[in-house]
Structure 1
Amino acid sequence: MSLPAASARPVHVIASDAEALAVAARLADAFRPGAARRDAERLLPREEMARLTASGLLGVTVPRSCGGAEVSARTLAEVFRLLATADASLAQLPQNHFVYVNVLRAQGSRAQREFFFGEVLAGRGFGNAQSERGGRHIQDYRTRLTPDGAGGHLLTGEKHYATGALFAHWIPVLARGAGDALHVAYVERGAPGVTVVDDWDGMGQRTTASGTVRLAGVAVADDRVVPHHLTFQGPQLHGANAQLLHAAIDAGLARAALGEAAEFVRTRSRPWFESGVETAAQDPLLIQQFGELDLRVRAAEALLAAAADAVDTAAAGLTDETAATASLAVAAARAEAARAAVESGSALFDLAGTRAAQEGLNLNRFWRDARTHSLHDPVRWKVQHLGRYALNGTRPPRHGLL
């Protein structure tokens, strides 16, 4: 499969937080009308990803010193929330891109940052090859990075749930090197030995193409390898930044499902005969349900904003305490947003009624997307860490998933 062309369209460079938000809002409005059909027919969003790339959104976290806007976590979270109100799969696709831009910001050498940030600003995006199947747990990585005897490395393994890899120019690969130390190897998608398989068959987020990446003795130059294990030797925001974007996707999904339900009730639903009202939108029981759901969605949105602010505060003065505060704020946002998204996607049918269940409307995509995305990492462990801190003052661990 050929690489996507970075120069197929001119790539804009976004200059500010305000511009990033305006661009995201415009793209969300453009992507929304085709979302149901893309999901129903599993039409991979190649054109939409090309538009997103050309818009410059992929470059907004590049540092100002390297030509980017270096937007705040608050802005980036809102960008993802806006995109998710339109299409949760499209919002999911670039999530890993920003994670691996952050890896370079944290541990990349000056030369690596200059090279890869130039790639990003030119429209060459990152995918991911992180998760594996069959291990004892999610961080039991068996992909190996071994010396090739000539100053470089060979990369061998198989990755699954590789969201973004199919559309990427560069695939960051998590691998174990000498002493089992964790590294990220940035490999070109079209490099010899790299195979990207579109075999994702999830019930939700159908168009993320989160398939398999096979790595068969892939040659990797030394200057394409970043020592990721060093990230976790001190206070870090790796997990908080990554999880913040997941929370934003869930918050956007929750708001989208509630909005879809409201539009359906206003325009297509009939009132229940016992209600004594002329339209379904006047039914006091429905109004109450909408109010209760709106409270839950507002709570998720408020926690998302607070978590983003905590990440920004920690980034400005990183200590063990500020990192813990940020991680816990993100954990709260992620837990509440996931619950709000699943609940809103399910309640849509209670609110809209029998007609909403027609297969052709594909309204179940909101619940399917929320249910699938909420499985990314368990909410119960977010709540566990919140409880440990609230009761005993125990800071969350530095494993990068919180």
Structure 2
Amino acid sequence: MTAPARPVTAHVITDDAEALAVAAGLAEDFRAGAAERDAGRRLPHAELDRLSASGLLGITVPRAYGGAQVRIATLAEVFRLLAAADGSLSQIPQSHVVYVGVLTRQGSAVQREFFFREVLAGRRFGNAQSEAGTKHVQDIRTRLTPAADGSYLLNGLKHYSTGALFADWIPVLARGRGDALEVAYVPGDAAGVRIVDDWDGMGQRTTASGTVQLTDVVVPADRVVPHHLTFEGPQLHGAIAQLLHAAIDTGMASGALAEAVSFVRTKSRPWFESGVESAADDPLLIQRFGELSVRVRAAQALLASAARTVDEAADGLSDDSAAEASVAVAAAKVVAAQAAVETGSALFEVAGTRAARDGLNLHRHWRDARTHTLHDPVRWKVQHIGRYVLNGTRPPRHGLL
């Protein structure tokens, strides 16, 4: 196998504590330019290069291949920290981590050796999963057609391809022999791959979640992974993927709350009827900040609890432990989504008219939260939680739960 041409080098993180420290430092730096990047839709090429160089993209690589193999609780906190700083940038590596996990579970020894070396060097995975115009999100029509020489031809059209524009490798979800679900790992600069930067969402503006066109892309057999095997037994693929989304929502909620606190302390005026000199002493604002803090703390607590449940399930995977993990993650995602949207909106309620000035771009918090929480409907997560609690029905095995 050959690698894409982009020369990269990356630090190799060795343990959980280092991963958290690196994430906290990067988040602090990324926060400073988040409003400007969003306002001008300046894509975060430089920031992603720093993320690659930091080693954070390699923290889930198994120790046997030179990675830190951090606990899922650590991974969730890394994403929460990044999302609190920038709700767009934090979304980009989510698919990267998910498809490192696909290789961990279903990749051959040769595939793991090659791709984990790529990841530890700082190369990035994007994604090409979703398709528009199909019956539903699981209706995948992109095809891997066997060729006479043992390779495949890949054809399809993908949308919402977060990270593809920045990627060295694009994992493509496709149907292979017998309609089996496969993942083809395709170089971003491969012949027949066209990445269109046509994402125009109201939020998460800088994720570049656009279109990937695949026309007769030649894929060697050793770049195809049998993803369908993931769902033939108890699995945590969906739980981990969804936990990262919950972490992003939780981070966006805490980021919006922090922005509101800073604004009210430094820029807001008290309401004249409050009888106080500072907006921060207004009893009604104090009450509302208390309520918002409870929402955010609840999201953080459920996120941490769900992550521990996933870690415990990974240590002894069974149908029961996988079900517990999926339900715990679903609960965390429901509360995190609610907290992110409410806090992003309440920022204006507590900060007042001045906060609505477009030049401040404080509305990015609500726009990012509202956009990201559309990723998959939490109403179905509530359904699965209810069925599990009331009737003991285990959640289905798929990548969205």
State the distance in 2 between where 1:208 and 1:6 align. Answer: 23
Residue identity opposite 1:401 in structure 2: L
Q: 1:180-219, aligned counterparts within 5 Å?
A: 180-219=179-218
Length-normalised TM-score, structure 1: 0.98
Partner SS state of residue 155, structure 2 = strand
Corresponding residue of 1:311:
310
Corresponding residue of 1:240:
239
Residue identity opposite 1:174 in structure 2: L
State the distance in 2 between where 1:118 and 1:61 align. Answer: 12
Partner SS state of residue 204, structure 1 = coil
State the distance in 2 between where 1:309 and 1:381 align. Answer: 23
State the distance in 2 between where 1:257 and 1:205 align. Answer: 14
Corresponding residue of 1:398:
397
Corresponding residue of 1:274:
273
Report if aligned partners of 1:232, 1:398 keep a CA contact under 8 Å in 2: yes
**What stretches of structure 1 move > 4 A for 4+ residues in a row?**
none
Report if aligned partners of 1:311, 1:326 keep a CA contact under 8 Å in 2: yes
What is the CA distance between 1:172 and its match in structure 2? 0.3
Corresponding residue of 2:250:
251
What is the CA distance between 1:389 and its match in structure 2? 0.8
State the distance in 1 between where 2:5 and 2:389 align. Answer: 48
Q: Is 1:38 matched up with 2:32?
A: no
Q: 1:103-142, aligned counterparts within 5 Å?
A: 103-142=102-141
Q: Is 1:5 matched up with 2:14?
A: no
What is the CA distance between 1:5 and its match in structure 2? 2.6
Residue identity opposite 1:288 in structure 2: Q
| Deviation readout 1:307-346 (Å, 9 max, x if unpaired) | 0001100111100000000000000001100000000000
Corresponding residue of 2:85:
86
What is the CA distance between 1:376 and its match in structure 2? 0.2
**Taking structure 1 as reference, are residues 392 and 24 closer, same or farther at Cα in structure 2, changes over 3 Å only?**
same
What is the CA distance between 1:303 and its match in structure 2? 0.3
Residue identity opposite 1:101 in structure 2: V
What is the CA distance between 1:123 and its match in structure 2? 1.0
| Deviation readout 1:106-137 (Å, 9 max, x if unpaired) | 10011110110001011111000000000100
Q: 1:293-332, aligned counterparts within 5 Å?
A: 293-332=292-331
| Deviation readout 1:239-263 (Å, 9 max, x if unpaired) | 0010000000000000010110111
Residue identity opposite 1:316 in structure 2: D
Structure 2 runs not aligned, ≥5 long: none
What is the CA distance between 1:71 and its match in structure 2? 0.3
Partner SS state of residue 246, structure 2 = helix
What is the CA distance between 1:4 and its match in structure 2? 7.8
Report if aligned partners of 1:198, 1:211 keep a CA contact under 8 Å in 2: yes
| Deviation readout 1:49-72 (Å, 9 max, x if unpaired) | 000000000000000000000001
Q: What is the RMSD of the two structures over their aligned residues, measured on CA atoms?
A: 0.8
Report if aligned partners of 1:293, 1:344 keep a CA contact under 8 Å in 2: yes
Residue identity opposite 2:6 in structure 1: A
Report if aligned partners of 1:4, 1:168 keep a CA contact under 8 Å in 2: no
State the distance in 1 between where 2:71 and 2:352 align. Answer: 41
| Deviation readout 1:13-59 (Å, 9 max, x if unpaired) | 00000000000000000111100000000000000000000000000
| Deviation readout 1:276-318 (Å, 9 max, x if unpaired) | 0111000000000000010010000000000000110011110
What is the CA distance between 1:400 and its match in structure 2? 1.7
Corresponding residue of 2:142:
143
Partner SS state of residue 144, structure 2 = strand
Structure 1 runs not aligned, ≥5 long: none
Q: How many residues align?
A: 398
Residue identity opposite 1:5 in structure 2: R
**Taking structure 1 as reference, are residues 333 and 4 closer, same or farther at Cα in structure 2, changes over 3 Å only?**
farther
Partner SS state of residue 88, structure 2 = helix
Residue identity opposite 1:194 in structure 2: V
Corresponding residue of 1:154:
153
State the distance in 2 between where 1:391 and 1:219 align. Answer: 49
Report if aligned partners of 1:6, 1:123 keep a CA contact under 8 Å in 2: no
State the distance in 1 between where 2:237 and 2:363 align. Answer: 33
| Deviation readout 1:205-228 (Å, 9 max, x if unpaired) | 000000000000000000000000
| Deviation readout 1:67-94 (Å, 9 max, x if unpaired) | 0000010000000000001101110000
State the distance in 2 between where 1:297 and 1:4 align. Answer: 43
Percentage of matched positions with identical amino acids: 73
What is the CA distance between 1:6 and its match in structure 2? 3.7
Partner SS state of residue 93, structure 1 = helix
Residue identity opposite 1:150 in structure 2: D
Residue identity opposite 1:92 in structure 2: Q
Partner SS state of residue 94, structure 1 = helix
